Amino acid sequence: MLANSNATANIAVKDLERAKAFYEGTLGLSKVDDMGGELIVYKSGDTLINVYHSQFAGTNKATAVTWAVGDQIGAIVKSLKSKGVTFERYDMPGLTLEGDIHVGHGMRVVWFKDPDGNILNLVDK
C-alpha cells in the first residue's frame, strides 16, 4: 500500500532558531520551506525532514533520523566534530569503537544528538 510513497522524518524541537542553526549551520541542510515559526522543512538528498516546534521535544530515546553516507562516514564525522558535535558511545554486542565510529556487523555507524537531545545517526551502508 505505501511501498511506492515517499516518507518524511519529523523532528520535534523546543527552539526553532537554535534548531535552525544546527540543521543548517552544523549539518548543512538546505531549507526548502519555513511555515511561520512552527515548522521548517529541510531537503536531505531526495528526502525531506520536518523540524517542528513541540513541547515534547527531546523525549524520544531512540534514533530519529539515519543518513546512509557510504564511505564518506569518516570525513563527515571529522567535519561534524570540528563543528562541536559530540558523538555518543554505546555498548552494543558485536560493535567495537574505532575513534568515534562503532564498527561491526559489516557496518560503520555513529550516533549524535541535536540541541534538543534527538538522536541522529550516520551509517556507511
CATH number at residue 51: 3.10.180.10
Query: Looking at the 3D structure of the chain, how many domains does it have?
Result: 2
58 within 8 A of 116, measured Cβ to Cβ:
yes
The answer on pLDDT for 37 being more than 90 is no
The last residue of one of the domains, among 11, 27, 55, is: 55
- DSSP characters over 84-110: T--B-----TT-EEETTEEEETTEEEE
The answer on pLDDT for 5 being more than 90 is no
Q: What is the pLDDT of residue 115?
A: 96
Residues 22 and 50 in one domain: yes
Residues 22 and 51 in one domain: yes
C-alpha cell at 8: 518524511
Q: Tell me how far apart the alpha carbons of residues 29 and 42 are, in angstroms, rounded to a whole number.
A: 6
pLDDT, tens digit, for every residue of 50-105?
Answer: 999 999 998 999 999 999 999 999 999 999 999 999 999 999 999 999 999 999 99
Residues 67 and 124 in one domain: yes
Query: Pairing state of beta strands 47-53 and 63-68?
Result: unpaired
Structural domain boundaries enclosing 109: 63-125
The last residue of one of the domains, among 16, 34, 55, is: 55
